[in-house]
Amino acid sequence: MTITFITGNQHKVKEAQGIFHQFNIQVEHIDLGYPEIQGELIDVARFGAEDAARRLGRPVIVEDAGLFIKALNWFPGTYSAYVQDTLGNQGILKLMNNVKDRYAEFRSVIGFATPKTEPETFLGVVGGQIAHQEKGKHGFAYDPLFIPEGHSLSFGELTREEKNEFSHRRQSLENFAQWYKDFISK
């Protein structure tokens, strides 16, 4: 089976292909663009999926993700894309200068919709620590800053396959894939 993934982010597509492979789901990537309302991940994903499914006339998934840092009141959170493009990782490290509690979460919400049905959402979360400097050249965006719980290497130091084993995206896509198998067979 196939699912259409609407995103402007090639890294997400590659990760999704790796994760969906073991569920026998093929990914078709379309960079359609969709209105990203400002709000909670779940609302952005729901609204984006519904809009894209209607315009494209077929079932789609979209994803809204972000890095949520506890000591910064969960900033950048829903502002993650804007903050990555402006402050960048060095800006985040400045904000975290001398901050002891370095707990953070990556969160991913997959939105699924068809032209006719109400959207569904699927959550994935991974906890970890903000590193004291950028580490590693793998991955993208915030990956060199994030050391997942129980590991000493950052997402930037893990291969795509290693990150895919337990990332926020792994969990949200797996939750979706399990649900989708039933949905398709109905």
**Cα–Cα distance for residue pair 3/25, rounded to 1 Å:** 7
**Least separation in angstroms between CB 122 and ligand ITT:** 14
Q: Which of 43, 51, 64, 182 is catalytic?
A: 64
The residue count for binding Na ion (CB under 5 A) is 1
- Based on CB atoms, which residue is closest to ligand ITT, 69 or 141? 141
**Least separation in angstroms between CB 64 and ligand ITT:** 5
Q: From residue 38, give the alpha-carbon distance in Å to each of 48, 55, 116, 125, 179.
A: 11, 21, 24, 20, 27
Partner interacting with residue 84 (select from ligand ITT, Na ion, none; CB below 5-8 Å by kind): ligand ITT
**DSSP classification of residue 119:** P
Instruction: Determine, following the binding rule CB under 6 A, whether residue 66 of this chain makes contact with ligand ITT.
Output: yes
Identity of residue 158: L
- Based on CB atoms, which residue is closest to Na ion, 65 or 131? 65
Helix axes 10-21, 168-184, angle to 10 degrees: 60
Which one of the spans 51-59, 62-70, 97-105, 173-181 is the region binding ligand ITT (CB under 6 A)? 62-70
Q: Do 16 and 71 contact (CB within 8 A), yes or no?
A: no
Partner interacting with residue 120 (select from Na ion, ligand ITT, none; CB below 5-8 Å by kind): none
Q: Do 154 and 146 contact (CB within 8 A), yes or no?
A: yes
Instruction: Determine, following the binding rule CB under 6 A, whether residue 59 of this chain makes contact with ligand ITT.
Output: no
Cα dihedral sign, 69-75-80-82: negative
Instruction: Give me the residue whose beta carbon is nearest to ligand ITT.
Output: 141
Contact residues for Na ion, defined by CB under 5 A: 81
Indicate which residues carry an active-site annotation.
64
